[in-house]
Structure 1
Amino acid sequence: MLRLVLAALTALILAAAPAQAERIKDLGTFQGVRPNQLTGYGIVVGLAGTGDDSLEYATQAMKGVASRFGLNLPAGINPQLKNAAAVMITAELPAFAKPGQRLDITVSALGKAKSLRGGTLLMAPLAGADGQVYAMAQGNLAVGGLGIDAADGSKLTVNIPTSGRIPGGATVERAVDAGFASAPYLTFNLAEADLTTAGRVANAVNGALGPGRARAVDAVTIEISAAAGAEARTALMGQIENLPVDPADAPARVIVNARTGTVVINGAVRIAPAAVSHGKLTVRVDEDPRVIQPAPFSRGRTEIEPSSTIAVEEERRPMFDFRPGASLADIVKSVNAIGASPADLVAILEALKQAGAMKAELIVL
């Protein structure tokens, strides 16, 4: 009883608590202020015989590395590179990153290397989508996986030994111009399109900076007039992103994961008047064959006579109804009352959607 009283008091407190405002910085980002992906190709050396062996593009890369140090391998000779592996390197260049700053990088085997444990990445350039080099990578790998091969062919693999990270393994060589300092307006983009939220963000900015400074262009974009210059705009952006805004309620959605049976219903879902009856029909067939023996001295044969019993059992579950405007708590309470499984709940929700009694978006993952 005490547990029920505490649960009821908690529900009342949560229901009475006002909705908490969100900061503008948590609702989206300014245009141009974003990270950029970098990729590169390199060679990892120092492996304990777990490299790419004679992989063609690994040997070509090693010849290129050797030539940078004045060592030219004879034509037609392909070294056995069991201690080296060709790898792809990925990194994320944060906004406003400056030359000399360090980046964490991820190194992944490209070919048939069995493990990168104990390897060292040789200096490799990291390029952006425009083909320009923005960082240089090099360092010793930290590999969390482990792979072991025995002489009889048995194998043991723990996690992923063909991928590792190098904390601070890349150095930024070129900065990316965000472009916000020279743009006609400061442009703020919401993470999720919503006309109501866009209007509220524009109103919050106008309330803090003065009328007419911001306008909602569409459900995502808010344009804000600002003085030219990176210094003035940086200070203004810092002021804007900390303004509180009450975002609009999320659209009514029901999310169904068909693989795991997980059903998530947000608080905006409402049910129109509807009656639901959900039963379970079980058909059982029992086979009990009998052995028939012939009479003595009758020259008969022993036979097996089939004997089947079919039973039909239908579990009776009461019908329940939803009153107008039934909320999430009403749905959960009614479904739990009949003992419905997640699969049954999905069937009920789909039927309510088809009947037009549930005005919500049904998303099946």
Structure 2
Amino acid sequence: MKRVLACLLAGALVLGGLPSLASADNAVTRIKDIAKVQGVRSNQLMGYGLVVGLNGSGDSNKSTETVQSIVNMLKTYGVAVNQGSLKSSNVAAVMVTATLPPFVREGDTIDTTISSLGDAKSIQGGTLLQTPLKAGNGNVYAVAQGPVSTGGFQAGRGGNNSTATKNFPTVGMTPNGAIVERTVEDDLGTNGRISLSLAHPDFTTATRMAAAINSQYGNVAHAVNPGRIDLNIPSYFRGNVVGFVASIEELPIIPDNVAKIVVSERTGTIVMGGDVSVDEIAITQGGLSIRVQKNENANQPDPFSYGTTIVTKNTDVTVTEDKASTVVLPATANINDIVGALNAVGATPRDIISILQAMKAAGAIHAELQLI
């Protein structure tokens, strides 16, 4: 038990043997980097369309949705076709996605991403036909159309041994390929008030932010909850809300963070905040090695006898235990003390993860432990 606890402490704070371990004190930052104006956000758009002009790399006739889409499209142009005889190898059904930024106006252009929906091998060199892009409310906010750029390719035909593929030729982009048809109205400060949302809600950080704003503009800010601050726009800024927001974003603040240790078991990385504290504890680490070796011996009979050769198996078990290293840390230990102690005992990444979990269970380390 003593060895486990010792190993525990060693692991919680050891640098040597870890791919990386980082710690940092809270630094001064801008309000702009930790908060944003409420309501100023992007919107996701999506649409279903067809990419044409493919050189036989489109969907096969097994993709019935593609064949049906071609038939429906041609009907709108007064062209009647027999669905059973239609070949779709030059066409691919795709999903078109885009992000509508805030404050865009009608006529602005945005980028789109085109992803194959059927069994097309590549949409390289194709052209996206006019595709309405809808938001979650079902309204059309943009229309996409244009040539598709994949950044990859597929060369050759036939089986796996006769083709070469680079990147993902079934996913492409159309830069500035969608035209905004409807504006999302953003009422910024029309009622004389705006709100700020914290990226990471925290009582202390919200209080500090409100105090920093009030020290600059008077009693205009109020922390409603850990994640939101309401502001009354000063009268001399009522006609320049953008300037008011810009001046607030540049105000310096020291955000407060919860003492936390983040451990990635996959990579052996430990990231530790500077507020982590440890109670007085003894750390012991020793290595126990068990080696099992099997040998086979052949026993030969005497000459001119009627005996037979017999093969015997011998197993040797050797147990060795390295001398344990013990380090005692006082209750005032900080990150530097812990790192030095863990380097001294030589804990491995596997030891460290076990040590951290045991320390947390024993209440010896005062921090939130998060495994990712």
8 Å CA contact 2:127, 2:146 repeated in 1: yes
CA distance in 2, matches of 1:266, 1:259: 20
**Greater mean alpha carbon deviation, residues 344-353 or residues 33-42:** 344-353
One-letter code of the match for 1:162?
T
Correspondence 1:136 to 2:143: yes
Cross-structure match for 2:17:
none
Q: Paired residues, what number? A: 345
Structure 2 residue identity aligned to 1:189? S
In the alignment, the residues of structure 2 paired with residue 359 and residue 312 of structure 1 have an alpha-carbon distance, to the nearest angstrom, of 37
CA contact (8 A) 2:192 2:238 kept: no
Q: Provide the rounded CA distance (Å) in 2 between the counterparts of 1:147 and 1:330.
A: 56
**Aligned counterpart, 1:180:** 188
* Residues 38, 126 of structure 1: 8 Å contact kept: yes
SS state at 2:370 partner = strand
1:300 & 1:19 partners in 2: Cα distance?
82
Deviation digits for residues 185-242 of structure 1 (CA, Å, limit 9, x no counterpart): 311110001101101111122222212x111011001011237998543333233222
Aligned CA distance change for structure 1 residues 210 and 152 (closer, same or farther; 3 Å):
closer
Q: What is the letter of the counterpart of residue 127 of structure 1?
A: K
Alpha-carbon distance between aligned partners in 2 of 1:355 and 1:130, rounded to the nearest angstrom:
51
Aligned pair partner of 1:194 in 202, 205, 211: 202
1:51 aligns with 2:58: yes
From 35, 42, 49, give the equivalent of 2:49: 42
Q: Which residue identity is paired with 1:139? A: G
Q: How does 1:89-128 map to 2 (within 5 A)?
A: 89-128=96-135
Between the aligned partners of 1:151 and 1:58, the Cα distance in structure 2 is 23
Quick check: 2:27–2:255 contact (8 Å CA) kept in 1?
Answer: no
User: Does 263-272 or 107-116 show the bigger shift?
Assistant: 263-272
Selected match of 1:218 from 220, 225, 232:
225
CA, structure 1 residues 77+19, in 2 after alignment: closer, same or farther (shift >3 Å)?
closer
* Cα displacement (A) at 1:130: 0.6
Alignment of 1:202-351 (within 5 A): 202-211=210-219, 213-226=220-233, 231-248=239-256, 250-351=257-358
Task: Work out whether residues 180 and 230 of structure 1, in 8 Å CA contact, stay in contact via their aligned partners in 2.
Answer: no
For residues 154-212 of structure 1, what are the alpha-carbon distances to aligned partners after superposition, in whole Å with 9 as ceiling and x for unaligned?
Answer: 2322211111111111111111012334457311110001101101111122222212x
Q: Distance in 1 between matches of 2:284 and 2:266?
A: 25
Deviation at 1:297, TM superposition (A): 4.2
Deviations along 1:18-48, one digit per CA (max 9) or x if unpaired, are 9653221111111110111111111111111
With normalisation by structure 2, the TM-score equals 0.87
Taking only aligned residues, the RMSD between alpha carbons, in angstroms, comes to 2.1
Among 69, 72, 77, the residue aligned to 2:77: 69
CA drift at 1:316: 1.8
Higher RCO structure (Cα 8 Å, ≥6 apart): 2
What per-residue deviation string (whole Å, max 9, x for no partner) do you get for residues 31-74 of structure 1? 11011111111111111111112211111222232233332324
Look up the match of 1:33: 40
Rounded Cα–Cα distance in structure 1 between residues aligned with 2:189 and 2:179: 25
- 1:80 maps to what in 2? 87
CA contact (8 A) 2:292 2:317 kept: yes
**Cα distance in 2, alignment partners of residues 236 and 78 from structure 1:** 64
Answer yes or no: is the 8 Å Cα contact 1:227–1:233 preserved in 2.
no
Structure 2 regions of 5+ residues with no counterpart? Answer: 1-24
Q: Output the CA distance in 1 between the equivalents of 2:234 and 2:270.
A: 49
**Unpaired segments of 5 or more residues in structure 1?**
1-17
8 A contact 2:284–2:345 mirrored in 1: no
How far 1:315 sits from its partner (Å)? 1.9
* 1:290–1:306 contact (8 Å) kept in structure 2: yes
